[in-house]
Chain A
Amino acid sequence: MSTPSERRLQKELMSMLKEPPTGMEVDTAVMEHNDLHTWHVRLTGAAGTLYEGENFKLQFKFSPKYPFDSPEVTFTGDNIPLHPHVYSNGHICLSILTDDWSPALSVQAVCLSIISMLSSSKEKKRPPDDALYVKTCSKNPKKTKWWYHDDTV
């Protein structure tokens, strides 16, 4: 018998495979032995934006308390988008990943938010404190006390 969090992840996976949303594709290769607690999702930059045609890889890690506890989401792979809210180690400054998380959100909703965050960027650059943050931060972005102050991007 699977746990509630596994059941929910299974449902989310099914719906994403069945009706793949634009610009995101779940990579089922990493789900060895049907372990649903780590996902990789390939994102494609939206057309007409600075990231058009680029491909990125997002890693999701789910705790057994998902969906009451937010997933740990980072960019991974060799193409980390240059964006004022994305650190060079892949950590993302996005409020729905911590404070504003809600159990009604899903992998698809998070991916959509991230694509939208990329799309509204006007300038391809790293956050101003990138060097310091990357040196001092924890491996888990959820342990960072994020300060959400810039709603424009």
Chain B
Amino acid sequence: MEALMENLLTNVDWTEIGWASWDTLVMVGMSLLFSVLIGLPVGVLLFLFGKRQLLEQPIAYAVLSFVVNVLRSVPFIILLIVMIPFTVMLIGTSLGVAGAIPPLVAGGAPFFARLVETSLREVDRGIIEATQAMGATVKQVVFGALLPEALPGIIAGITVTAITLVSYAAMSGVVGGGGLGDLAIRFGYQRFQTDVMVITVALLVIFVQLLQMAGDRLVLYFSRK
């Protein structure tokens, strides 16, 4: 059995795979963290500035919405390239794990912001009204009622964003990003090492599955409806 494995996977360097997996984890983890840190407040503002909402601001909404739409409409592979000068300015390099994180955040944050906006809109208006009737400030409505009520939806949004970031992170291999995608391109594609390709794809599939399962469990745990 072991011999068979050796024969089939001649090109596979497991240490390399291990490091690449770790890199992917770091890229997804860090970019998810920043996407949530940026996307959550932007999503809340999008919701509050929206039509007939608490802080209705048509102009602010239009501006914010436009920026989000622009970032979301650029295909990620193009965003990776367009972002290079900015990434270099920000962290000194556009290569490796660190170099991949800014474009990943630029792709993930607006995506997550829209998901947050949508899940906040799902909250019953009556709950907002009731909270206002208790004499709550806008801040109290957001933190006391809106976010707790939308939490399951927001967690589902984080899951979807994380999975999107896994695929974006793999794509960043094209411009020297690092991680499993980089491995797949350099060895699997450019050197025709099909076994490396198969392993990296299998690992990505497992990774996505685990993320989805964990996300679903959390959503279930926080759902009281």
Q: Are these two chains actual partners, yes or no?
A: no
